[in-house]
Amino acid sequence: MMLYPVYVHQDKDSAYGAIVPDLAGVHSAADDPEALPRLIQEAVELMYDGETRAPPPPLPVNIHRRNPQFTDGFWMLVDIDLSKVNTRAVRLNISLPEHLVGKIDRAAAAKHMSRSAFLAMAAEHALATPGG
């Protein structure tokens, strides 16, 4: 899961519109802003369905706040579960110490994730971290 900044705006007599600036083309709308996180998750899954590349990591919300396009609304941070994004998987065979596999499996189970999803999340996190 990864926190993405989402810009929310509402024109007079309309639903709340939501834009995910880091994910071009991902947007949604709802009458109730509390529904937006679920709808944004669905929009991300639809947008990246069958894509070969995963969604890019988010930029800090402060960078987006400087954009004059985003001035009349408010920001939400939405936790997007990237393990549900159906990007084309590549099968690989790796060897790890047995004790490490056990730790990975326990951590994945605690997060209700598969081993593969957990390892992908850990790799994405390590690569998004400076020096990663």
Closest CA to 4 of 55, 72, 50, 70: 55
Given its phi and psi angles, is residue 20 left (phi above 0), alpha (psi -120 to 50 degrees) or beta?
A: beta
Quick one: tokens of 41?
A: 């998750």
Sign of CA dihedral 15, 21, 25, 26: negative
The residues, ordered by sequence, that sit 6+ positions from 61 with a Cβ below 8 Å of its Cβ are 5, 75, 77
pLDDT in tens, 20-48: 999 999 999 999 999 999 999 999 988 88
Residue 87 pLDDT: 67
User: Which residue shows structure tokens 């529904």?
Assistant: 35
The distance of Cα 66 from the centroid of its chain, to the nearest Å, equals 22
What is the average pLDDT value for the chain, to the nearest integer? 89
